[in-house]
Amino acid sequence: MNAAAPAEHAFSLTMDDGVSVQCRRIGNPSGVRLAITHGNGFAVDGYRVFWEPLLADFDVVLFDMRNHGRNAPSGADGHNYLQLARDIGTIRRGIDAELGRKKTVGVCHSMSSRAAMKHAVEMEWVWDALVLFDPPNVPPRGHEHYEAMRVFETKLVDFALNRPDTFDSVADLNKLFDESRGQSRWLPQARADMARAVLRPDGAGRQTLTCRRELEASIYLAALTLELWPPASAYGGPVKMIGADPEWRGAPPTGVANRALATEGGYEYEAVHETGHLLQIENPQACRDAMLSFLRKHDLV
């Protein structure tokens, strides 16, 4: 693989509070459009092992959520789930305005999955279908899986606040990923891609995180107060949840929580065998297969 797929068309979109979000259209312009984004603290270029094989058949639009990846820093004022949900709608409409209307599927992971859920069930349905990779769904208080998710999210808050945020080089972060037990399941190419994708030059000869660790932590904490546990019928269109393996010993509690929501809420649902929360870069082929079976069912391939 090359370091990045060639950009056929790059454009920026302005959110409703004036923040600019960078988008790139690549792939097959004759195919169904996939709008693909990422999870908290990450960037869409780090998921290349997942999306690059889709370029032959799909019209792919890649974008980073605000304060992530290729976007310029925009601060904390709009870094919350309400604004991220609004951004999803603005980006969806902006893609049509820039490229023309066509069938479009949202493909989201973790934080962006939750933002897309909030947008779809509380604001508007704008997709032909929506694919949600392991959203960190927190059940209502009193649910049997609430406490496990609360502990999971608070541990992530502590991790984010205490992680290194500046590195001498991209290679240093890549080495950290290579040596970390938490990233050991990521494909080696994905570790290299993600190290490049989540860093930017700091102007003093070093590299710093594109998403400030304090902003990353705020999103983990906010997950506990979203009160977002909707049934599939609330979306207005087809949605599939693809989750971490709830039976695998190494998986986080998101896998169990998502299976519970899928069962209680009537979702189309699939768990990817022996994967954790970063399933798209742990077993990208299985994740593509799970998504493509859903798209074929709804005549979107």
pLDDT at 153 > cutoff 50: yes
Q: What is the CATH number for 293? A: 3.40.50.1820
What digits encode the pLDDT tens for the residues 126-144? 999 999 999 999 999 999 9
Instruction: With respect to residue 110, please indicate whether it lies within any of the assigned structural domains.
Output: yes
| Residue type, position 288, single letter | R
- Pair 138, 147: CB distance under 8 Å: no
What integer pLDDT is reported at residue 2 of this predicted model? 38
pLDDT tens digits, one per residue of 212-239: 999 999 999 999 999 999 999 999 999 9
Residue at 4 is within a domain: no
d(CA 113, CA 30): 26
The one-letter code for the residue type at 115 is: A
Q: Which residues constitute the domain of residue 142?
A: 9-297
Note whether 63 and 109 are within 8 A (CB). Answer: no
| C-alpha span between 189 and 191 (Å, rounded) | 5
pLDDT bracket for residue 7 (50, 70, 90):
low
Token representation of residue 153:
């999210």
Residue 179 has pLDDT above 50, yes or no: yes
| The total number of structural domains that make up the chain | 1
- CA–CA dist 79, 90 (Å, integer): 15
* Count of C-beta atoms within a 10 Å radius of residue 63: 28
Average pLDDT, the chain: 96
Residue 131 lies in a domain: yes
Share above pLDDT 70 across residues of the chain, in percent, rounded to a whole number: 98
Q: Is 125 left (phi over 0), alpha (psi -120 to 50) or beta?
A: beta
Helix 213-222 / helix 146-162 crossing angle, nearest 10 deg = 170
Q: Is the pLDDT of residue 297 over 50?
A: yes
Residues 52-65: what's their mean pLDDT? 98
Q: Is residue 1 part of a domain?
A: no
